[in-house]
Structure 1
Amino acid sequence: MAAGGGTFLVQNKVLPGAYINFVSRPRAMSNLGERGVICVGMEMDWGREGMQTVEAADFRTDSKALFGYDYLDDKMKDMRELFLHAKKVHLYRLNGGEKAAVTEGNLTVTAKYAGARGNDICIAIVANVDEEGKFDVETYLGAELADSQTAENVEELTENDYVSFSGAGPLTAAAGLHLTGGTTETAAGSAYTDFLAAAEAEDFNVLAYNGSNEITKKLFVNFTKRMRDEEGVKFVTVLYDYAAADHEGIISVGTASELVYWVAGATAGAGVNESLTNMIYDGEYEGNAKLKKSEYIKGIQEGQFLFYEEDGKLRVLRDINSLTSFETTKNSDFSSNRVVRVLDSIANDVANLFSKYYLGKQSNNANGRNLLKAEILAYHEELMQMEAIETFTAEDITVEKGAEKQDVVVYENVQPVDAMEKLYMKVEVV
């Protein structure tokens, strides 16, 4: 995407890019971009510090090497919540610590990552039964063998997924060398600032934070508003109990903080033609969703994303965000997450289309503008086929020359489709 982007009041932008406004009509390509991508910061006791990208398949097969625990371990519960519906996670480890280590004779073994999990690593050095003078150096994580290699000297050993080896000279037998000294630190307050700075360089659909610190929540809200409204980067952020954000880019989960990661994954994985309303929660937590009808009404009016219980299962009450202050230019349609997904997809995909194929490449004449219009129209026709929007025709879009020779002005009228939520039925008995 180009350096420029965001919204505009007048045609006075300096940076090349796509500037797109969405407003409600006052009342009396191109392919769709990938969805299913989350960005999240977590405190962990194993794994690389900073940002890494993990695919769903990699998490299932390489969880132990990446995060120190088996996929089914209870420590991976939150990660499983994310990946129930997400395809990819940009994961930022917020905390550090000390690396576990052990020295025996000529050999020093150091955990690959900082954290208390390194203390569960043990090294066994046993004589090789086939080659005299050589040893099998085995790395155990807990009770499971994680790596084995045969060598005569320390210098021959190579780093594996869990430890690195250093030193010089011949190996000697050792029944069990337990690494010690590994510590897991608590994330400093500045860690979230660093995380958001790193997140700014990534592409994702959903940002998530499940903590209760009000200052950190506000940090996420301000970051989201700036990225959406000033930078033109369209994503939504899922927080726990922060309806005060009153913004279409913030989803406030009101039922339980444990459900934030599931909501983030489900939101990221939902297509532009899908709503989460009435979706069954298929995660592992048990939330208290037995509220009075009046409490549900109050929660909806306050912009809370709530769950309700039916037949022993949790379901999403309404797929809404925290926007509650409606205006003529931003009405109640913008409180629907399905509608926002459609609008965000249009903004991201059209901006990517423009940057990739037109910015600096296509002449700003009638022919060039007609080509751009045709591509945007084709993209919207794809959205119509998916039932993400309706009744879009060529007359609903204009592409004109702007105030300067380099400017292109696009105006369109779009009608997002939402899911059925309320049934009003009148029965006349005769």
Structure 2
Amino acid sequence: MANEAEVFGLPQVIIDFKTKGTTAIKRSARGIVAMILKNEETNTIKQYRINDVGDIPETGLTDANVDLIKKCLLGTPLRILVYTLPLDTVKPKTTTGEGGATTTEDMNTQADILKLLEGIKWNWLCAPTATVQEQEDLASWIKSQRQNKRKTFKAVLANQAADNEGIVNFTSSGIKVASGTDDDGNVTYKSYTALEYTARICGILAGLSLDRSATYFKLTEVAEVDPIPEIDNHIDKGELVLFDEDDGDGVKIARACNSLSTFTTDKGEDFRFIKIIEAVDMITDDIRDTFKKYYVGKVINDYNHKMLFIAAIKVYFSEIKGNVLDANGNNTVDIDEQYQRNYAILHGEDVEKMSAMQIREYNTGTNVVLAGSVKPVNAMEDLKIVFTM
């Protein structure tokens, strides 16, 4: 007989999944940005929680870093979690103790911030003041977190051909933004590097909902950007770039792609689109979060309860058809029968004498192993028309 917690708890799973489904588009437009900045004149790390420009402190941050935060906020992310590091000019202190022995303090580094970020929720990362080596380290860390720990972290980095769906390689340079006027009333401009403008791109991707792609997203503040010869080749190599078609419509994102450029049977060409990865990551987080909240340690692991969980996921899939999942796609999930079969064999069972249902119902201890398929839907980006007369 099910205990009272299960009777009252399981319906909440359906409600939770329905809520997640109906709010999917709204929630996807409110991603969290983690931003690492070099700012401190002493060997310290500070943290700031920025929801809007009113949360930017009046003191403590350099003017250049405040500008980068404001550029990120233009994309309307839910919030920015700002972590500040010592400037490169800060040196570790050396002290001399008794007997002349010297000790040197450990410097706070990017690696220390990554340890903090590993245990909290966020969606997109940028580090617009990092060195080339620090950008490379971030790329390596994101890859490791996604592959080994199944995290859904993503980053916007500059000039990093990471060949990974979790890393956007932003490569545009010569980005000019109006900054004011001179004494004669002429508009003055500030130029940004690709590294600096990762803050802006990160904010856009965190604030963009899943009912559209960032392809052709207009950056209204950008007056000019360096043209890129043979731009299609750069995009094909996994570069996210800005371009101006000189049609009076301003500077836009050319193609909302990540750095993935090597495709396999597990990761096909669909994985190069930021919108697709955002959908997959959102689904992963929603299912994992609901499982942790309502099932882990609370529900017995028998066949009936597995099927209740599967039914709840299917309800969730039905709620996100259209803008997230292809309404005509095979979006489903079920017990992984091959895993069940192998598990039974490893526990000494003669599976040849077992029925299909007996294999499905076989007790798998604490393990819930499911298999399924989803087909995320992309946005319109390419057009081909052939007219005949």
* Unaligned 5+ runs, structure 1: 1-28, 99-187
Identity of aligned residues (%): 22
- Contact in 2 for aligned 1:272/1:345 (Cα 8 Å): no
- Contact in 2 for aligned 1:37/1:87 (Cα 8 Å): yes
> Counterpart of 1:54?
49
1:288 alignment partner, one of 225, 228, 231:
225
Verify: 1:219 aligned to 2:137, yes or no.
yes
* Secondary structure of the corresponding residue to residue 139 of structure 2: helix
Give the TM-score normalised by structure 2: 0.71
- Is the helix fraction higher in 1 or 2? 2
Q: What does 1:344-383 align with in structure 2 at a 5 Å threshold?
A: 344-383=281-320
* Secondary structure of the corresponding residue to residue 64 of structure 1: coil
Distance in structure 2 (CA, Å) of the matches to 1:232 and 1:372: 21
The alpha carbon displacement at 1:422 in A equals: 1.1
Distance in structure 2 (CA, Å) of the matches to 1:332 and 1:377: 26
Deviations 1:27-62 (CA, angstroms, capped at 9, x unpaired): xx25146642011111225899535342423xx224
Structure with the greater alpha carbon radius of gyration: 1
The alpha carbon displacement at 1:259 in A equals: 2.0
> Counterpart of 2:376?
416
> Counterpart of 2:274?
337
Distance in structure 2 (CA, Å) of the matches to 1:387 and 1:224: 24
Distance in structure 1 (CA, Å) of the matches to 2:278 and 2:267: 15
Distance 1:48 1:269, change over 3 A: farther
> Counterpart of 1:156?
none
Q: What does 1:12-411 align with in structure 2 at a 5 Å threshold?
A: 29=17, 31=20, 32=24, 35-44=30-39, 49-50=44-45, 52-57=47-52, 60-65=53-58, 67=60, 76-85=66-75, 86-95=77-86, 191-211=109-129, 213-243=131-161, 245-256=162-173, 257=194, 258-283=196-221, 288-292=225-229, 294=230, 296-310=231-245, 311=248, 313-392=250-329, 396-399=332-335, 402=340, 403=343, 404-411=364-371
Distance 1:387 1:194, change over 3 A: closer
The alpha carbon displacement at 1:89 in A equals: 1.1
* Secondary structure of the corresponding residue to residue 43 of structure 1: strand
Distance in structure 1 (CA, Å) of the matches to 2:284 and 2:381: 26
* Secondary structure of the corresponding residue to residue 261 of structure 1: helix
> Counterpart of 1:137?
none
Task: Name the Cα RMSD after superposition.
Answer: 2.8
- Is the strand fraction higher in 1 or 2? 1
- Contact in 2 for aligned 1:308/1:317 (Cα 8 Å): yes
- Contact in 1 for aligned 2:40/2:85 (Cα 8 Å): no
Distance 1:96 1:309, change over 3 A: closer
* Secondary structure of the corresponding residue to residue 54 of structure 1: strand
Give the TM-score normalised by structure 1: 0.64
* Secondary structure of the corresponding residue to residue 408 of structure 1: coil
Moved more, 361-370 or 41-50: 41-50
Distance in structure 1 (CA, Å) of the matches to 2:224 and 2:130: 16
- Contact in 2 for aligned 1:38/1:206 (Cα 8 Å): yes
- Contact in 1 for aligned 2:238/2:260 (Cα 8 Å): yes
Distance 1:409 1:51, change over 3 A: farther
Distance 1:288 1:309, change over 3 A: same
- Contact in 2 for aligned 1:369/1:400 (Cα 8 Å): no
* Unaligned 5+ runs, structure 2: 1-16, 90-105, 174-193, 344-363
Distance in structure 2 (CA, Å) of the matches to 1:63 and 1:217: 25
